[in-house]
């Protein structure tokens, strides 16, 4: 059982928000934490070379309110990843995750990400080096295979080798990644989902924590996957595009009996305003934060006006919290926590 910085991460990972490039930055994570106390949050991928060679330590910046929060690293050099993992631990992250799932061109050119599915021995070496460098848990996010690999052959062997290096928790994207011929965006949709393959993987490795990722659009689906024997579910685009789904997570997936942090979407924005004001004072552009809240009122009366007003006014250099206060006038106040939150699109 993993207990890092006072958090039981194997429990928090029951529902997590996936690392998503250009999306899950610190402003996004702060917003998500306003709706769920227990969900495990992940950073965007940060490359080990950027930290170790480039000294880009600003990429590790986060807010204390985000805990429990995990840092995802990209890399393929064991020594460099070990140094980057240590920097992540020193910055205060609760978990270090190795990216073995991203099919981005940026990732392939650096010989890391999903292409590492082809070299499980190297992944094991990287993980062993990272584990030796830090006290927090090291985990792996991977695919079921890449290109012409046969998942039922390569995936068990991948887990066998990497778990032998001490990794006990995996998040498996239930799609193959096609490294040639498909764009990163197409790789999120075109390769078919194979949830059954990941379920069988859990049966093969009952002592490992096996989480699933890919195409999970609502909490009902997440609960079904957990009921099927999987240990955790990682949601991505659904939680970003319709973040209000997170307001139901603590009660439905973690069994929390206390009230959600914020009871309405309006309360979420009111709780977000002091943070926005503080960040604006520090020079952060308003649109860097408001881009994450555009989907908060999805399916609600006035949602289109909410999005339009923010999109048109937030980019102004002098724009501040008044833009959000004015945008709130376009959407009605809910009487109770939205029951539609379980159906994220």
Distance from C-alpha of 158 to C-alpha of 155, rounded to nearest angstrom = 5
CB 176 within 8 A of CB 150: no
Could you list the active site residues?
A: 102
pLDDT above 80: residue 49: yes
CB 272 within 8 A of CB 31: yes
Q: Is the dihedral of CA 151, 12, 133, 50 positive or negative?
A: positive
pLDDT, tens digit, 9 for 90 and up, residues 283-307: 999 999 999 999 999 999 999 999 9
Cis amide prior to 345 (ω within 30 degrees): no
Alpha carbon 292 to chain centroid, angstroms: 14
Higher pLDDT, 185 or 307: 307
Q: Range(s) for CATH 1.20.120.1460 in the chain?
A: 265-328
pLDDT above 50: residue 340: no
Report yes or no on whether pTM surpasses 0.85: yes
Residue 56 DSSP label? -
pLDDT, tens digit, 9 for 90 and up, residues 132-141: 999 999 999 9
Q: What mean pLDDT comes out for the span 234-254?
A: 96
CB 213 within 8 A of CB 175: no
Distance from C-alpha of 276 to C-alpha of 282, rounded to nearest angstrom = 10
pLDDT, tens digit, 9 for 90 and up, residues 64-120: 999 999 999 999 999 999 999 999 999 999 999 999 998 865 555 567 899 999 999
Q: Range(s) for CATH 3.20.20.70 in the chain?
A: 3-248
- Tell me the chain's radius of gyration from C-alpha atoms: 20
The pLDDT value given to residue 7: 79
CA angle 16, 143, 77 (to 5 degrees): 95
Q: Which of 154-158, 185-189, 218-222 has the lowest average pLDDT?
A: 185-189
Higher pLDDT, 340 or 261: 261
- Mean pLDDT over all residues of the chain? 92
pLDDT, tens digit, 9 for 90 and up, residues 122-162: 999 999 999 999 999 999 999 999 988 999 999 999 999 99
Q: Which CATH architecture has domain 265-328?
A: Up-down Bundle (1.20)
* CATH superfamily name and code, 3-248: Aldolase class I (3.20.20.70)
């Amino acid at each position: 059982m993993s207990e890092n910085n006072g958090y039981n991460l194997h429990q928090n990972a029951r529902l997590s928000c996936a690392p998503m490039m250009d999306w899950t930055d610190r402003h996004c994570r702060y917003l998500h934490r306003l709706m769920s106390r227990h969900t495990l949050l992940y950073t965007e991928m940060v490359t080990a070379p950027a930290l170790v060679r480039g000294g880009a330590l600003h990429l590790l910046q986060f807010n204390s309110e985000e805990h429990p929060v995990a840092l995802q690293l990209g890399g393929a050099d064991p020594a460099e990843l070990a140094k980057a993992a240590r920097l992540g631990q020193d910055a205060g992250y609760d978990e270090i995750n190795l990216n073995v799932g991203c099919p981005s061109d940026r990732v392939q050119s650096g010989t890391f990400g999903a292409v590492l599915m082809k070299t499980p021995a190297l992944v094991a070496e990287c993980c062993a080096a990272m584990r030796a460098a830090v006290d927090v848990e090291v985990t792996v996010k991977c695919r079921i295979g890449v290109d012409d690999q046969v998942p039922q052959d390569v995936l068990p062997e991948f887990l066998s080798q990497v778990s032998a290096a001490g990794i006990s928790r995996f998040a498996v994207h239930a799609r193959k990644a096609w490294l040639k011929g498909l764009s990163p965006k197409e790789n999120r949709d075109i390769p078919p989902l194979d949830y059954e393959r990941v379920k069988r993987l859990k049966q093969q490795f009952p002592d490992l924590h096996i989480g699933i990722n890919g195409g999970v659009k609502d909490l009902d689906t997440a609960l079904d996957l957990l009921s099927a024997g999987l240990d955790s579910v990682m949601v991505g685009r659904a939680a970003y595009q319709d973040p209000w789904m997170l307001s139901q997570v603590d009660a439905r997936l973690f069994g929390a009996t206390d009230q959600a942090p914020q009871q309405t979407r309006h309360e979420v924005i009111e709780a977000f305003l002091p943070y926005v004001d503080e960040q604006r004072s520090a020079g952060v552009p308003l649109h860097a934060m408001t881009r994450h809240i555009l989907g908060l009122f999805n399916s609600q009366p006035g949602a289109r006006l909410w999005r339009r007003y923010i999109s048109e006014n937030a980019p102004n250099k002098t724009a501040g919290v008044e833009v959000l206060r004015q945008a709130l006038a376009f959407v009605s106040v809910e009487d109770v926590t939205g029951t539609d939150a379980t159906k994220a699109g």
